[in-house]
Structure 1
Amino acid sequence: MTLLHLEGVTRTVQLIDAPPLTILSGVDLEVNVGDRVSIVGRSGSGKTTLLNLLGLLDNPTSGTMLFEDRPVQSLSSGARDRLRGREVGFIFQQFNLLQGRTALENVMTPLLYAEGRQFWKRARIATEMLERVGLGDRLGSLPDRLSGGEQQRVAIARALVRGPRLILADEPTGALDLETGETVMDLIDQVATESGAALVTITHDPAIAARATRHLRLDHGVLQSTSTVPA
């Protein structure tokens, strides 16, 4: 089943006193349920822009983008926000944790927009997810009391807590040591498998890229498949 379909997608931004800047050019991509996709590329190649499009944070400038056969461009901002909150889990490189909120409160945040059991059992569900990433003893800790690696694990727990259909990971193990990084990737893979989610990972780590079944390279806004794990 196709989860995401992009055809001829471009992303252009208007600059002040300069010609428009094309960041993505003619991107074609299909992501199926359960896919494992890695995307590599140099800094400035458009990886973050592409991730924002896949995560419904931005709209393409032109081309076709479908999420489960629904044209993304035709959705209202509210409908897109609800779809993103329900179906997409982001693991950001910069963590983006809410300062002044505990680890538990950060992980509970996506569940505030859930319904039924997920809403009413949100504290228990968030606690269980933090335990799975090895932070069961840091539930009440604020972000500034956590190490970089611990903050990354909180961010990962927050992204996975709703069992999203699409997981988007931007350098998910960048702040972790090798052993913890492997454990966290095992967890991401496990949760993705349990929920049937697709996992799209942006990474510079060949070991992380090797976990994917499809390998793509983004170069100057052009997305291409590669038959080998990018180095």
Structure 2
Amino acid sequence: MSLLRLEEVTRTVQLIDAPPLTILSGVNLEVSVGDRVSIVGRSGSGKSTLLNLLGLLDNPTTGEMFFDDKPVKSLSANARDRARGRDVGFIFQQFNLLQGRTALENVMTPLLYAEGRQFWKRAKIAGEMLERVGLGNRASAMPDKLSGGEQQRVAIARSLVRGPRLILADEPTGALDLETGATVMELLDEVATVSGAALVTITHDPAIAALSQTHFRLDHGVLTSVESYAPALAPAVMA
């Protein structure tokens, strides 16, 4: 079942006193339920722009983009915001945890915008998600008391707490050492598998990209399919 589809998508920005700058050109991509997709690209290749499109934060300049087989351009701004909050989970390299809030409170944050049971049971749901990522005993810890790997696990729990169907991981191991990075990717794949979510990893690291099933390279705004990357990192035992 197709979850997200891009057809000949371009993204162009208008510069002052200069010709328009094309950031993405003719991008074709389909992500189905349960897929594991990696996109490798250097800085300046258009990765952030593509991430914004995949996460329903922006619209293509030309081309078609579909979410659940519905044209994204036909959605109102409010409908797109609701779909993003409900169905898309973001994981960032720098964690973006709220300082002065406990691990539990950080994971609860997306549930403040939920409805029904998810809102009223938000503390319980967030606590269960922390347990799933191995941090149930660190629920009351502040971010500055957590290791890098623990902070990333909190960020993963926060991104998954609403049960998104699409997880977008933007350089999820870039701020971690090799062993912790491998552990985080193993954990991310495990949790996504249990929830049935599609996982798209955007990275510059071929070893991380190799952990996915489907591989793409983004170069100067052009997305191309590639067969494989370097051998995957050996799984690490969670600390």
Please indicate the TM-score interval, normalised by the length of the shorter structure: over 0.9
The reply to whether residue 123 of structure 1 matches residue 123 of structure 2 is yes
Q: Is the 8 A contact 1:56 1:80 kept in 2?
A: yes
Superposed, which structure 2 residues align to 1:134-173 within 5 Å? 134-173=134-173
Aligned to 1:175: 175
1:35 & 1:168 partners in 2: Cα distance?
Answer: 12
Aligned to 2:204: 204
Deviates more, 1:203-212 or 1:134-143: 134-143
The reply to whether residue 187 of structure 1 matches residue 211 of structure 2 is no
Equivalent position amino acid for 1:126 in 2: A
Equivalent position amino acid for 1:93 in 2: Q
- Flag structure 1 segments of 5+ consecutive residues without an equivalent: none
Q: Is the 8 A contact 1:37 1:200 kept in 2?
A: yes
- Flag structure 2 segments of 5+ consecutive residues without an equivalent: 232-239
Q: Is the 8 A contact 1:173 1:184 kept in 2?
A: yes
The reply to whether residue 44 of structure 1 matches residue 44 of structure 2 is yes
2:197 & 2:66 partners in 1: Cα distance?
Answer: 17
Q: Is the 8 A contact 1:95 1:152 kept in 2?
A: yes
1:86 & 1:35 partners in 2: Cα distance?
Answer: 18
Equivalent position amino acid for 1:114 in 2: A
1:170-217 Cα distance to aligned partner (Å, 9 max, x none): 111222333332332222112211222111001223332111111000
Aligned to 2:220: 220
Change (3 A) 1:61 1:230: farther
Equivalent pairs counted in the alignment come to: 231
- Please report how far the alpha carbon of residue 53 of structure 1 lies from its aligned counterpart in structure 2 after TM superposition: 0.3
1:137-175 Cα distance to aligned partner (Å, 9 max, x none): 332233344343332222111111112100000111222
Superposed, which structure 2 residues align to 1:49-128 within 5 Å? 49-128=49-128
- Please report how far the alpha carbon of residue 97 of structure 1 lies from its aligned counterpart in structure 2 after TM superposition: 2.0
Deviates more, 1:113-122 or 1:213-222: 113-122
Could you say what the CA RMSD is over the residues aligned between the two structures, in angstroms?
1.7
What is the TM-score with the length of structure 2 in the denominator?
0.90
Change (3 A) 1:194 1:133: closer
What is the TM-score with the length of structure 1 in the denominator?
0.93
